[in-house]
Amino acid sequence: MPVVWSDSHRLHDPDAEIWVGVRTPGNEVPARAERIREHLEGAGARFVEADRQPDEAARAVHDTGLLDYLARAWEDWEAAGLTRDPGQESVVPYLFPHPGLFAPGQEPRLAAAASARAGQFAYDTMTPLGPATWRAARAALDTAVTAADLILAGEPAAYACCRPPGHHVTRSCFGGSCYLNNSAAAAARLRSAGLGPVAVVDIDAHHGNGTQAIFWGDDAVLTGSVHVDPGAGWFPHYLGFEEETGAGANRNVTLAPGTGDDGWTEAVRSLAGWVEDGGARALVVALGVDAAGGDSESPLEVTADGYRTAGRTLGGLGLPTVVVQEGGYDLDQIGRLVHETLAGIEEGARG
């Protein structure tokens, strides 16, 4: 299947993130996409340049307030002098307008100070915004939507090799190393072209909370996610439980830490059955490969064979399929894991 790509992903290169107040090394780095590219090039994949998409592609899934903020957050930060005093080179929030601060019905006004405004849109401290993060995030969304356009033009499947990832971003706030919801934008493009209902199946190790929130209660887009149980203490902690049903258009399958191929591929099969029952006419696979054993970001123990099996299951649905890259942080195996999944999808589609 064609691989959609943009060099602009390299513009976002966070060397650190702030976790529990401590500066820790960033792991959502350009080498992730480069390793995938090297592996797929070695396998003879066909690369396609991402097309610049109109702003409407982002507005279909995000509030104007969030988009306006992201577009100028770094310039505002620099203009406020924060890069000199206290010497913070990335936009990092310090104050969050928690709902408990306000009387019922009262809404926070937009904070005047750039330092405070950050917490109005970022829901964590580990998603830093650098000088060109906005351009990279916008290019990632362009990549995913271009992949959707390819299947609308008749390709049976296309893979968006994009970063930064997106599935933790809601309509109005961002976090989890994500800035714009690329998978959701691809789904919105397919739906707006009349290819509905569309299903998003998120197989990243973490709950696709942003995608769930964006399409909550919208029965034209089914959102399913298999992930490590947030109730066992995993990100995003507050969301991703099995009882979240979103008027029937949402399904979560949670797995205990330590779950390997058997439990994980069975969960993917159950989501595929749910997609089939829901009458989906197109599929977006939010492909995180951080469920792999050896990935530092999750306690799941899926193997490359497991990813190939999951690919076959999803390809076996026989739907036009857009695959959008989400997480996956083990640079030694990220290329192979993606390749196995894509190969599995193609095998499944051949029947």
Residue numbers of the site for Zn ion (CB under 5 A)?
Answer: 204-206, 288, 290, 327
Of 298, 293, 304, nearest to 337 (Cα)? Answer: 304
Q: Which residue has the tokens 């601060």?
A: 101
Using DSSP's 3-state secondary structure scheme, residue 282 falls into strand
Using DSSP's 3-state secondary structure scheme, residue 84 falls into coil
Write down the least CB distance from residue 102 to Zn ion, Å.
Answer: 31
Contact between 300 and 345 (Cβ < 8 Å): no
Closer Cβ to Zn ion, 227 or 312, answer by number: 227
Element (H, E) at 64: helix 64-79
Closer Cβ to Zn ion, 288 or 320, answer by number: 288
Cα four-point dihedral sign 40, 4, 270, 258: positive
Closer Cβ to Zn ion, 114 or 205, answer by number: 205
Residue 128 C-alpha from the chain's centroid: 16
Contact between 180 and 121 (Cβ < 8 Å): no
Write down the least CB distance from residue 207 to Zn ion, Å.
Answer: 9
Closer Cβ to Zn ion, 258 or 279, answer by number: 258
Write down the least CB distance from residue 163 to Zn ion, Å.
Answer: 12
Closer Cβ to Zn ion, 82 or 310, answer by number: 310
Using DSSP's 3-state secondary structure scheme, residue 179 falls into coil
Pair type for strands 22-25 and 16-19: antiparallel
Write down the least CB distance from residue 288 to Zn ion, Å.
Answer: 4
From 9, 12, 168, 339, active-site residue:
168
Burial tier of 120 (Cβ tally within 10 Å: 0-12, 13-18, 19+) = buried
Closer Cβ to Zn ion, 204 or 330, answer by number: 204
Q: How far apart are CA 301 and CA 265, in angstroms?
A: 11
Residue 174 C-alpha from the chain's centroid: 11
Using DSSP's 3-state secondary structure scheme, residue 321 falls into strand
Q: Is 39 a catalytic residue?
A: no
Beta bridge partners of 284: 200, 322
Write down the least CB distance from residue 65 to Zn ion, Å.
Answer: 26
| C-alpha distances in Å from residue 92, one per residue of 89, 130, 235, 335 | 9, 10, 19, 31
Structure-block tokens of residue 320: 């036009």
Closer Cβ to Zn ion, 149 or 204, answer by number: 204
| C-alpha distances in Å from residue 195, one per residue of 188, 215, 216, 273 | 10, 16, 19, 19
Write down the least CB distance from residue 77 to Zn ion, Å.
Answer: 27
Write down the least CB distance from residue 71 to Zn ion, Å.
Answer: 25
Active site residues: 168
